[in-house]
Amino acid sequence: MRITRRKAVAATAVAALALTLTACSSGGDDDGAPVDMADKMVGAMEDYGVGTSFKATEPIELGLMYRDHPNYPLKDDWSVLKHLEEDRNVTFDVQSVPLADFEQKRSLLISSGDAADLIPSTYAADVETLTSGGALLAVSDYLDYLPNFQDKVEKWGLQEDLDRLRQADGKFYVLPGLHENPKPSYSVAIREDLWADAGLEDPKTWDEFADQLEVIKEENPELDYPYTERWSINGPMEATLQAAAGGFGTEAGWGYGDGVTWNGSEYEYTGASEGYKELIAYFADLVDSGLLDPEGLTQEDDPAKAKFTTGKAAAIGSNDQEAVVYRTGFEEAGDKDAKVKHLVVPAGPAGNIMDATTGGQFESGIALSSNAAERDDFVALLQFVDWLYYSDEGLEFAKWGVEGETYTKDADGVRTLADDVDWGGLNAGAPKMLNTDFGYYNGVFSLAHGSTEDLVKSTLTPDVQAFLDEMNKKDVAENGPGIAMDEMQREEASLLQTNLQDVVMTATSQFLLGERPMDEWDAYVAELESAGMQTYVDTVNEAAGVNQ
Amino acid sequence: MVNIAPTVDPADPAGSTAPDLARPRPETTTIKDTPGYTVFRWVNATVLTLVAAITLYPFVNLAARAFSSEAGIRSGAVTVWPIGFNTTTLMSVLEQDLFWRNYLNTVVYTVVGTAIAMALTTTFAYVLSKKYLKGRMLLVGFAVFTMFFTGGLIPNYILVSELGFKNTIWAIVVPQAINVFNLLVMKSFFENFPTELEEAAAIDGLTTYGIFFRVVLPLSKAVLATMVLFYAVWFWNSWFPAFLYMDDPSLYPVTVFLRNIIAGATGTGEGLSDIAVQIGANVKAVTMLLTALPIVCLYPFVQKYFVSGVMLGSVKG
Amino acid sequence: MATELRGKETWGLALRKHWRLYTFAILPIAWFLVFRYLPMAGNVIAFRRFRPGGSIFGDEWVGFYYIERFIQDQAFWQAFQNTVIIGGLTLVIVFPLPIILALLLNELRSRLFKRFVQTVSYLPHFMSIVIVAGFVFELTSLDGTVNRLVQLFGGDPISFMQQADWFRTIYISSEVWQTVGWGTILYLATLTTIDAQLYEASRIDGANRWQQTWHVTLPGIRPTMMVLLILNIGQFMQVGFEKIFLLYNTLTQPTADVISTYIYRVGLTSGQLSYATAIGLFEAVIGLVLVFSANAISRRVTGSSLW
């Protein structure tokens, strides 16, 4: 009898603790209805709108989930923080998350309802599965408080893209970083001098590129391989696969995403599509014929770079910033003849096309925790977000800093970094760095490289600007309708897609490396089918409202 | 339950009669070794030398890398000696305030964590070791069950968060305060503690508290030292709780600092509007070296305690 | 005296008599309740749908929905298979090595040399997993020592950490490096307790060194072996999460993904905590079943057991 009593006491104690826990953690039930904002005006500007220079009417402190980058760790005395405090009355309560495990920790913080008010450096797809519990704010309910965001969406014709972000409940939860124009960056860099010696011009198509590699190989017997690759840590040459995919009418590499491609009338599974097969076959053939370095599909970036800059390879995967790094590499090695050309991505069998992701105008953006809506300075918070991430003034500040301190601007609007400040080799040799020492041009505060064409190009060298212009002449693959899955569909689909993607990624490596011959393609598609490909595609099409 | 009992004589706190692990096997030297056995001894010595060499190699290689130039490492030729000797990386890491602050955190977390863990583990193990105590088996089961069933990540996270432990030392030291395996080892030790000593103390008028603090603990120095070592090493090396519960770099232990450097170097293609991360192999090596160094240096000194102290050896079937 | 009363003793009497002893248990019991049992209540979300940010005890009952789901989930079975393989390899390779090493050490006559080898071989045990993972990356990188050896023997460098085929070898090797030396300590301690007279007796019976090892040494350490074996079997499914988490990537996932890493990924990265919890429960049940069966078999066959 006494035993029972003791047990009962223990059980009650546990239950009591559990209750407290629930009570504490399940705060604020939301019914989705727009909240009355009258009592959330602390610090807010009455007349805030496009062109208004935001300054909170009284100091506010916002919670900020800070993605801490090991290359420029957060410093309390950064100019960006100082100016936000002095000029905008905004300070931060920082929730620091190291880049290394950012996604996991962000997921944990959101899932447990502990995330800070502002969650930047976040793509809509990153938090898609985390919205159902109400931990994230449906920002689409508050667009009225985001005039600059709305203005840019309208001006740049992004309304349709924005609607595609809407989930089954008709809302979206992330404010994407916006681009006035698509900003493709990745491609292949070649040794322009070797190409010129061989009498070759920039390749217009991938087939031409393959023929040229053959020539380069013959003309330059000292090369180990004419072409090597990088960005292969998590999968083979993911950057170049993505860059090339559009021309083959598919999506691949980093752009593989949800694994479905719109074919004009319905979604089909990317990894089993004809375009994906052609793309893989093309690069597998390069490997097979000794033109593409097989190590390029697995090696780390440093050795890959070294191969290129020491003249063991004549072409390599690249982006606009890395092309500069290669040039510096040649200079350091004392190789004065070498010239690096960042190629415009060649066209493929499907045409001169960019895949929808590369050609898209959304970048990583910012999500808000639903706790933010409970704040009495909620409106000021929204205004601040709108100003910093979407107003011309805020974007310029976040990227370039403060005129007179970090940069100067001439009559034509051309910005020049201050003498003692460098960024990305623009002012090589200067003692301070715009990001490390001042905190500007930092993905947390500065979305999408500054969004506007003017700001994006302001840090680009003329040849990169030319690259960008040329790239933007390409067609962009059609984005299908939005895929708004309900909770059950998403749970099922996300597991299926995880499994399918594992099969695709493993097989892609094997095909490329020749470990598996291309004629086993059908067997591979059968594997996908048994992993639930059809169910997945059906679910996607259903959620996208495609009639079959 | 687990009968891993220490064979240390509790009456001999200094452990001078504790079994000596380095003691050679009892010799039957009256017989001359057969030729086969002599060959075996040479082979054995060679094998064990190799074992020692292989065990040490990663440390030596690490040191060599830490003092090599980036290009030297890249050449793939660094083995036991630096190539392109450089100390600039070492200096630049040593100059980082954050590294030192995290290092200090590690020391504090280890000391506090070990103290709390020892207090809880020792007292509970003592209770569990009293075979006459009613409810003892219940309590043992109560503890052992948690070796297999645990709560998920989120409930644990929310618990720590609701207790207000986030961003405090308590998030690291409290939830890990009792390691059931260590608890069982201590329990076995106390079970073998000579009851006569305790009975004699009781006759002298000591209460349970008196017996525990003035008789049992002083005679258990060897096993206590071992447990301290186990817990200290655990806290020194732990990174996951800190990764979960700390939102401020100045509170990280050095293992999280290290993790961010090692993982930062492999995390490319993050898609954020930043340059893909690249941290030199050299920086990684230096940071690892500095983190491992205190243990490598202190270890030979503590080692003597646990070798004469652990003796978890004798198992009674 | 107290033991004689055990059968009849009531809680009231026990508490009155040993209240001081029970006070020692208050804090630890509270600790177990709060930090171990309370979070366990969260496991209820295996049967209730949890929404990220919602109630930690889930929003509505879904019965065995998540259990049925993972039973049909290929990736789960892949992880299950990997767990069994890696756990099995660990048991077969990593478990016996300390015994062999201890026996070899036991044959050494030079005290100094023996102590040296011991000291060195315990060292890796004290290294953080983060550092061990760092070692693995350094040694197996393209410019690392292992590839240098491969090249010395005329092979082409291998990107070990990017090839699924290599993962198990690498994982087991790092386990061997890290744990085998430390594993000997229990055996060495046991070896010192073997009665020297037993050796003398067997020698008089004409046994050579090898036979002595077989007939005296091994039986002497058998109980230790059994207890450790049972403990190892019980932890069979809990293949080191942290180490695999730090070492694996999407390329090695086909062989490296074990149940615990799968749970972490599904739970955190895809936000499906109910699903992950259902798998976690399953893992725990298997662990309990394994340890109980191993214990029962061991008790029957060898007479030694955990309890």
3-state secondary structure A107-160: HHHHHCCCCCCEEEEECHHHHHHHCCCCCECCHHHHHHHCHHHHHHHHHCCCHH
For chain C, give the mean pLDDT.
84
**Are A100 and B248 an interchain contact pair (Cβ–Cβ within 8 Å)?**
no
pLDDT digits (tens, 9 = 90+) for B48-84: 999 999 999 999 988 888 888 877 777 777 778 888 7
Average the pLDDT over C100-105 and give the result: 91
**Are C57 and A22 an interchain contact pair (Cβ–Cβ within 8 Å)?**
yes
Whether the Cβ atoms of residue B57 and residue C149 lie closer than 8 Å to each other: no
d(CA A61, CA A25): 23
Question: Which residues, including other chains, have CB under 8 Å from residue B131's CB and lie 6 or more apart?
Answer: B191, C3
The residue among A7, A25, A328 with the most chain B CBs within 10 A of its CB, best to mutate, is A25
Of B25, B259, B312, the CB nearest to C186: B312
CB-neighbour burial class of residue C177 (10 A; exposed 0-12, middle 13-18, buried 19+): buried
Phi, psi of A526 (to 5 degrees): -60, -40
- Report yes or no on whether pTM surpasses 0.90: no
pLDDT digits (tens, 9 = 90+) for C254-266: 888 898 888 888 8
d(CA A74, CA A81): 10
pLDDT at C133: 87
- Would an 8 Å CB–CB cutoff place B263 in contact with chain A? yes
d(CA B267, CA B285): 17
**Are C57 and A370 an interchain contact pair (Cβ–Cβ within 8 Å)?**
no
**Containing H/E element for C49?**
strand C48-49
How far separated are the first and last CA of chain B, in Å rounded?
10
pLDDT at B298: 77
**Are C270 and A532 an interchain contact pair (Cβ–Cβ within 8 Å)?**
no
Which residues of A fall within a CB distance of 8 Å from B249? 68, 73-74, 96, 98
pLDDT at residue B304 above 50?
yes
Give how far C56 is from chain B: nearest CA, Å.
Answer: 7
Question: What are the distances in angstroms from CA B91 to CA B87, B96, B286, C166?
Answer: 6, 9, 9, 36
Which residues of A fall within a CB distance of 8 Å from C79? none
**Are A177 and B273 an interchain contact pair (Cβ–Cβ within 8 Å)?**
yes
Average the pLDDT over B34-44 and give the result: 84
d(CA B21, CA A468): 71
Average the pLDDT over C119-147 and give the result: 85
**Are B19 and C193 an interchain contact pair (Cβ–Cβ within 8 Å)?**
yes
**Are C249 and A132 an interchain contact pair (Cβ–Cβ within 8 Å)?**
no
Average the pLDDT over A27-33 and give the result: 39
Three-class secondary structure of residue A88 per DSSP: helix
Question: Which residues, including other chains, have CB under 8 Å from residue B13's CB and lie 6 or more apart?
Answer: B218, B219, B220, B221, B222
User: A137: pLDDT confidence band, cut at 50, 70 and 90?
Assistant: very high
Of A121, A231, A306, the CB nearest to B268: A231
> Which chains neighbour B (Cβ–Cβ under 8 Å, 3 or more pairs)?
A, C
Please list the alpha-helical segments (H only) found in chain C: 2-5, 11-32, 38-41, 65-71, 74-89, 97-106, 111-122, 129-140, 145-152, 164-192, 196-204, 209-212, 218-234, 241-247, 253-256, 259-264, 273-301
Whether the Cβ atoms of residue A494 and residue A466 lie closer than 8 Å to each other: no
pLDDT at A266: 92
Burial A117-137 (b: 16+ CB within 10 A, else e): bbbbbbbbebbbbbbbbbbbb
**Are B21 and C192 an interchain contact pair (Cβ–Cβ within 8 Å)?**
yes
d(CA B30, CA C71): 65
Phi, psi of A509 (to 5 degrees): -60, -45
Question: What are the distances in angstroms from CA C90 to CA A420, B43, C136, C240, C285?
Answer: 57, 26, 17, 11, 20
Q: Which residue has the tokens 């910033």?
A: A321
Whether the Cβ atoms of residue A80 and residue A396 lie closer than 8 Å to each other: no
Phi, psi of A91 (to 5 degrees): -120, 170
Average the pLDDT over B98-124 and give the result: 93
Give how far A393 is from chain C: nearest CA, Å.
Answer: 35
**Are B313 and C303 an interchain contact pair (Cβ–Cβ within 8 Å)?**
no
User: B314: pLDDT confidence band, cut at 50, 70 and 90?
Assistant: very low
How far separated are the first and last CA of chain C, in Å rounded?
24
Nearest to B306 by CA among C101, C191, C118: C118
pLDDT at A268: 94
Minimum Cα–Cα distance from B307: chain C residue: C185
Which residues of B fall within a CB distance of 8 Å from A99? 260, 264, 267, 270, 277
pLDDT at B272: 32
d(CA A25, CA C54): 8
- Would an 8 Å CB–CB cutoff place C182 in contact with chain B? no
Which residues of B fall within a CB distance of 8 Å from A101? 243, 259, 263
Q: Which residue has the tokens 């756990």?
A: C87
Question: Which residues, including other chains, have CB under 8 Å from residue C294's CB and lie 6 or more apart?
Answer: C229, C230, C233, C234
> Which chains neighbour A (Cβ–Cβ under 8 Å, 3 or more pairs)?
B, C
C300 alpha-carbon distance from chain centroid: 23
d(CA C211, CA B46): 22
pLDDT at residue A60 above 90?
yes
Of B49, B139, B263, the CB nearest to C25: B139
Nearest to B133 by CA among A10, A6, C5, C30: C5
**Are A100 and B264 an interchain contact pair (Cβ–Cβ within 8 Å)?**
yes
pLDDT at A13: 47
**Are A100 and B263 an interchain contact pair (Cβ–Cβ within 8 Å)?**
yes
CB-neighbour burial class of residue A264 (10 A; exposed 0-12, middle 13-18, buried 19+): exposed
Least confident of A177-186, A350-359, B288-297: B288-297
Give how far A366 is from chain B: nearest CA, Å.
Answer: 12
pLDDT at A78: 93
pLDDT at C217: 87
Query: How much of chain B, in percent, has pLDDT values that exceed 90?
Result: 19
pLDDT at A20: 45
For chain B, give the mean pLDDT.
78
Which residues of C fall within a CB distance of 8 Å from A509? 251
Average the pLDDT over C230-234 and give the result: 77
Structure tokens at A545: 């409202």
For chain A, give the mean pLDDT.
86
d(CA B270, CA A258): 16
**Containing H/E element for B202?**
helix B195-203
d(CA A149, CA A160): 14
Phi, psi of B262 (to 5 degrees): -70, -45
Of B34, B79, B159, the CB nearest to C145: B79
Which pairs with CB-CB distance under 8 Å and at least 24 residues apart come from C285-288?
C286/C237, C287/B148, C287/C234, C287/C235, C287/C236, C287/C237, C287/C238, C288/B148, C288/B149
pLDDT at A411: 86
Structure tokens at A508: 């892609």
Give how far C38 is from chain B: nearest CA, Å.
Answer: 8
Q: Which residue has the tokens 């801490």?
A: A68
Structure tokens at B135: 């409810």
**Are B272 and A121 an interchain contact pair (Cβ–Cβ within 8 Å)?**
yes
pLDDT digits (tens, 9 = 90+) for A266-318: 999 999 999 999 999 999 999 999 999 988 887 777 778 888 988 899 999 99
Of C28, C186, C196, the CB nearest to B313: C186
pLDDT digits (tens, 9 = 90+) for A255-268: 888 899 998 899 99
- Would an 8 Å CB–CB cutoff place B308 in contact with chain C? no
pLDDT digits (tens, 9 = 90+) for C45-88: 889 888 777 777 888 898 898 888 888 887 889 899 999 999 99
Minimum Cα–Cα distance from A442: chain B residue: B274
User: B26: pLDDT confidence band, cut at 50, 70 and 90?
Assistant: low
B 215-274: CB under 8 A from C = 233, 236-240, 255, 258-259, 262-263, 266
pLDDT at residue B210 above 80?
yes
**Are B55 and C121 an interchain contact pair (Cβ–Cβ within 8 Å)?**
yes
Residue B60 or residue C291, greater confidence: B60
**Are C39 and B307 an interchain contact pair (Cβ–Cβ within 8 Å)?**
no
> Which chains neighbour C (Cβ–Cβ under 8 Å, 3 or more pairs)?
A, B
Query: For residue A454, how many C-alpha atoms fall within 13 Å in the half-sphere facing its CB?
Result: 10
Which residues of B fall within a CB distance of 8 Å from C113? 45, 48
User: B30: pLDDT confidence band, cut at 50, 70 and 90?
Assistant: low
Q: Judging by DSSP bridges, how do beta strands C60-61 and C48-49 pair with one another?
A: antiparallel
- A246: DSSP letter: G
Which residues of C fall within a CB distance of 8 Å from B46? none
d(CA C260, CA B188): 31
Whether the Cβ atoms of residue C231 and residue C287 lie closer than 8 Å to each other: no
pLDDT at A11: 47
How far separated are the first and last CA of chain A, in Å rounded?
67
**Are B244 and A233 an interchain contact pair (Cβ–Cβ within 8 Å)?**
no
Burial B5-22 (b: 16+ CB within 10 A, else e): bbbbbbeeeebeebbbbb
Structure tokens at A101: 């495990």
Structure tokens at C284: 């725990």
Of A203-207, B240-244, C217-221, C301-305, which has the strongest mean pLDDT? A203-207
Amino acid, res. C9 = E
Minimum Cα–Cα distance from B280: chain A residue: A302
- Angle at alpha carbon of residue A184, lines to A179 and A186, rounded to 5°: 145
